[in-house]
Amino acid sequence: MARELRDVPESWPVTRSEDLHRGDWVMALRLDELHRPGDAETFGRLVLEHPGAVIILAVDDRRRAYCLWQYRHPAQRRFVELPAGLLDAEGEDPVSTARRELREEAGLEADDWTALGTTWPSPGISGEVMHFFLARGLHTAEDDGFEPTHEEADMAGDWVPVDDLRAAVLDGRVGDGPLVQALLLADAKGLL
């Protein structure tokens, strides 16, 4: 009998948790001791707590995607990325976060929003979930007074033809995981 091709929620018993780092930012690192159901042997797993994120593929009526160039210290490189952000505002659903992030990072608003999919980028260490959206019907947003800081204060944005972006992804010039996933999801669904 074949297994059903579907991810399913499941939780194994945790016998102990220890915070290794917890500060004033939304992410934390902890060590969980757990065991398989029916097996008393415990083992440790590091868990990066993460609130989740949204990624926005904003495409205008000329088939151009709005991209950002942003430095990322852990990878020590400047990536070509899409507008994105953390689900760090209490009570804010993913599409509302996506609307806010598109306004803050690109100065844009969209009339049409399409959910492209949801992925877990690194479930072996983090519960982070990423929600992908295609935004169309774009227009300039009113300035809401958002002031970028740190790496965001240094990022630059510009329009890129979708075909050029696809070529850059496929030949490896662009490797930001969320950008690759958003573009390929939209492309595979025939939305580009």
* 84-123 pLDDT, tens digit each: 999 999 999 999 999 999 999 999 999 999 999 999 999 9
- Domain match, 176 and 87 both: yes
* pLDDT score recorded for residue 117: 98
Confidence tier at 79 by pLDDT (50, 70, 90)? very high
The residue-averaged pLDDT of 143-152 equals 69
Summary mean pLDDT of the chain: 94
Q: Which of 113, 132, 135 is nearest to 60 (CA)?
A: 135
The residue-averaged pLDDT of 71-77 equals 92
- Is residue 81 a part of any domain in this protein? yes
- Domain match, 181 and 147 both: yes
Residue 152 falls in the annotated catalytic set: yes
- Domain match, 35 and 72 both: no
pLDDT per residue over 148-180, tens digit each?
666 666 788 999 999 999 999 999 999 999 999
Domain count, the chain: 2
d(CA 59, CA 108): 11
Distances (CA, A) of 83 to 16, 37, 60, 157, 191: 38, 41, 14, 9, 18
Q: Which of 33, 49, 109, 152 is catalytic?
A: 152
pTM listed for this prediction? 0.92
Locate the DSSP E strands across 12-155: 14-22, 28-35, 42-49, 53-58, 64-72, 77-81, 84-86, 108-119, 130-140
Domain containing 33 equals 14-49
Check the CA dihedral 118-158-105-156 and report its sign. positive
